Structure 1
Amino acid sequence: MKDNFKTNPEDFTRNRKQSFSGTILFMLNFLTRSLSIEIVNFLSFLKRKDIAQETFSKSAFVQARKKIKPEVFKHLNQRIIEEFYKDNSGVLRQFDNLRILAMDGSRLTLPFTKELEEIYGQTKNQTNTYIVQTKACVLYDLLNEICINGILSSIDTDERTQAKQLLEHCQANDLIIYDRGYPSFELIYEHYQKNLHFLMRMPLDFSQVVKDFVASGKTSQIVEIKPGQKKSFENKPYTKSSTLKIRLLRITLNSGGIEVLATSLLDSKHYGNEVFKELYFKRWKIETYYDELKNKLKIEEFSGYSNQSILQDFYSTLFVSNIQTLIENEINEEIEKESETKNIKYQYKINTTLSYGFMKDRILELFFTKNDMNDIINELKELFKKHLIPIRPDRKFERKIGKYRTRTKPIVTKNQKNSL
């Protein structure tokens, strides 16, 4: 790994206070506070565990991290994902063994530096203050709650462009769910070319075909769509007269309104209309995943100010979240089995907020220990189980759009990082 993911061939060739592996593990340990405090706690942890490590300064760490490509965390993430899907009876799938994935984007606020402004672009928040933001997009397994991959792009990057990049990480016959910002002839064409299935929420005015379907009152119909006629077809793999078959579905909401979904699953006998409302609702899990990244893992509290640091923090956070999920899913299975033998009012699940807190330092033990790794995993399991929360079914809350529109994030200057 060191040879593949160090920035220059001469990096990490001499014995330094900061080793390649030590720097990576330090970056995995939720660096949301002042670096000086994080370093002291890191060294204290290693001392308690009788692990030899010379002291190092904040400057030494900053210089060491410059020598490591951010892609090392993408590589680590890919390794555990491959292991998870390989010969694992616990993997949840649906509809002829399809993986049910979702793709969605969200904005992340970055430190205001000239480098980041040039890469990602400048925008205004709700109070007309100029800020630097990036557009994040992740590919997420909804049933297994695993983040397969993610990317950061400039703020003006089209969502469909990001989606096409992440499709490279899908497998044949995956089913990907999208909200109404994604539908386009080109993206649907890409799915058919890669033998991928899709379920998309369509804007009601997407095309005349969709408008006619809404007016017809039908609940399901196979239609043909064409590309936008006013666009250039230069360097496109299709022509102005190309067509694609999709299936449109009318979904009646509890409020009485309607939505139109489009899918590549054309067989109405095998895939009945009734399954798609619930299936599309599963997309909400990718929204809660962003909530975890932003509010529980504090992904926007970056540990550095260079683009390299931003990418390192982003990819390492996706990796750590997957480690936590794998442990949590295993515990939830045990909890479900235990609940079957008990007469209890509610089912229970892990308190995700606390579980991330318990991972602090212990994730280091998982990699540093010379003993059985299962000892640390079992300790985590016991901690998770002591802090369960009930699952209250059919709870509904009115969505207040714009509730946080006037809320602004406090500006954290470089010499005022969190100390607690």
Structure 2
Amino acid sequence: MLNLCKGSTEQELAGLCSVLDGQAVAGTVPTRAAFSKARKGLSDKLFSHLNRLAIKTFYRGWSTPTWHGFRLRAVDGTTFRLPPGEALERAFGAQRNGPTLARGSILYDIGHDLVLDAQVAATCVGEYELAIEHLAHAEPGDLLIYDRGYPAFWLFALHRHLGIDFCMRLSRSSFAPAQAFFDSAERSRIVTLNPSAEQRRACRDQRVPAEPIRVRLVRVTLRGGETEVLATSVLEEERLPARLFAALYHQRWSAEEHIKRQKRWAEIENFSGRSPLAMRQDIQARILAMNLAAMVRNVAQLLAERRFAHRRFRYQVRACSTLSAMKDNLVRLLLGDGEQQRRLLERLVLHLASAVDAVRPNRSFPRQNPGKLKPGFHPAYKRVA
């Protein structure tokens, strides 16, 4: 499940056993039924636990990039298109028209391209509820960046209660002070939000104090002239002037790009089973595999930056090349002895340090067919090679 499986179960098992045996063709291969039976005894929580352990280990030996003293994190939601089946419909809710969907959400480390926490739930569970789960994996010193679907008084209060800073995009109707700020010409303004009776009830439900909150509103003007208003808990104008927030909020886009990579390159919706447990296992295992690949990519990026320091543009290691290189090699890295692991890791890093693209500033690629359901994967027609 960690081997970035995309083909049929039979093909993937044969390929894995050939890697383990060190032979072109494996001598003994487990059957699909044996794999299906064995996975029933494996909790999907194992992969999220291993993910936290891997990240903790990685952070101990790696410097954390910061933005004006903050560790940047992004929260973003998505949906996963599930294969047909009554068990999945019962677990995640049947859609009136269209395929069965599951709701997903990630807490994303922008500086390292790592998913710190991934949540999967039925579509009746909102993004707010999943965002609350993410906060258990954030800490003071983090600055969490949210899109415009998240702002709520109780969520502001919860961040303040936990000592975690935030930056959220507001809609015009979010709060009365936001409406007035939209109509003004100010770049930045500190306002006090007083909770309504409904907002007080929401705070009580979340067990956070329903006290007035001071937030800072910042105006951001996009290239096309569109205006966005952000609300942040960072009130110091001298520390973070308003002109910095356009670039800050743009960094949230990397979380959306990571979700695209999950679905297109890692094929996270290409499930190896049709039970709710198999679906959760596959999603969490794929995220762990992508994180391990990102850790190798981070090392290769250091070498690439030194190798191409004399060039006009900055060069970055391609994420697609990293995922391709990790197929089968991830198994070898996890199961080899210390010396084999070291030699293989060195070869991978040297190879990836040359698999680079130039980063050209001020490039943009508009979304194609935004909002339309993209093609999924049919369980009966997976790739055979």
Decide: shared fold, TM above 0.5: yes
Which residue number in structure 2 is paired with residue 32 of structure 1?
A: 6
**1:34-64 CA-partner distances (Å, limit 9, x unpaired):** 11111111111122179x9953211111111
Q: Which secondary structure state, in structure 1, belongs to the residue aligned with residue 117 of structure 2?
A: strand
- 1:369 corresponds to 2:336: yes
For residue 326 of structure 2, the aligned residue among 359, 376, 379 is 359
Alpha-carbon separation, structure 1, partners of 2:184 and 2:297: 47
For residue 307 of structure 1, the aligned residue among 267, 273, 276 is 276
**1:162-217 CA-partner distances (Å, limit 9, x unpaired):** 11111011112311000000000111111011000000000012121111122232
Change over 3 Å in CA distance of 1:231–1:393 after alignment to 2: closer
**1:86-135 CA-partner distances (Å, limit 9, x unpaired):** 253x3212222x211000101110111111111211225xxxx4210011
Q: Which secondary structure state, in structure 2, belongs to the residue aligned with residue 131 of structure 1?
A: coil
> 1:79-118 residue pairs with structure 2 within 5 A?
79-86=53-60, 88=62, 90-96=63-69, 98-118=70-90
- Which runs of 4 or more aligned residues in structure 1 lie more than 6 Å from their structure 2 counterparts after TM superposition? none
Which residue number in structure 2 is paired with residue 246 of structure 1?
A: 215
Which residue number in structure 2 is paired with residue 220 of structure 1?
A: 188
Structure showing greater radius of gyration is 1
Alpha-carbon separation, structure 1, partners of 2:280 and 2:147: 26
Q: How many residues align?
A: 381
Amino acid paired to 2:378? V
Alpha-carbon separation, structure 2, partners of 1:75 and 1:57: 28
Change over 3 Å in CA distance of 1:278–1:385 after alignment to 2: same
Alpha-carbon separation, structure 2, partners of 1:55 and 1:314: 24
- 1:41 corresponds to 2:15: yes
Which residue number in structure 1 is paired with residue 375 of structure 2?
A: 409
Q: Which structure 1 segments of 5+ residues have no match?
A: 1-26
Contact 1:324 1:359 in 2 (8 A): yes
Alpha-carbon separation, structure 2, partners of 1:197 and 1:283: 15
Give the deviation of 1:269 after TM superposition.
1.5
Q: Which secondary structure state, in structure 2, belongs to the residue aligned with residue 216 of structure 1?
A: coil
Query: Percent of counterpart pairs with the same letter?
Result: 26
Give the deviation of 1:231 after TM superposition.
6.1
Contact 1:46 1:53 in 2 (8 A): no
Alpha-carbon separation, structure 1, partners of 2:367 and 2:312: 27
Which residue number in structure 2 is paired with residue 419 of structure 1?
A: 384
For residue 183 of structure 1, the aligned residue among 146, 151, 175 is 151
Q: Which secondary structure state, in structure 1, belongs to the residue aligned with residue 167 of structure 2?
A: strand
Contact 2:269 2:376 in 1 (8 A): no
**1:289-329 CA-partner distances (Å, limit 9, x unpaired):** 00110001000001111111111111111111111111111
- 1:271 corresponds to 2:264: no
Alpha-carbon separation, structure 2, partners of 1:84 and 1:274: 33
Which 10-residue stretch deviates more, 391-400 or 187-196?
A: 391-400
**1:247-295 CA-partner distances (Å, limit 9, x unpaired):** 1111122222211100000111122112111111100000110011000
Alpha-carbon separation, structure 2, partners of 1:238 and 1:322: 33
TM-score (norm 2): 0.93
Alpha-carbon separation, structure 2, partners of 1:272 and 1:196: 20
Change over 3 Å in CA distance of 1:74–1:397 after alignment to 2: closer
Contact 1:103 1:178 in 2 (8 A): yes
For residue 121 of structure 1, the aligned residue among 74, 78, 93 is 93
Contact 2:104 2:121 in 1 (8 A): yes
For residue 102 of structure 2, the aligned residue among 131, 134, 154 is 134
Alpha-carbon separation, structure 2, partners of 1:170 and 1:46: 38
If asked which structure has higher relative contact order (CA below 8 Å, sep 6+), I would say: 2
Amino acid paired to 1:74? S
Contact 2:47 2:281 in 1 (8 A): yes
Give the deviation of 1:363 after TM superposition.
0.4
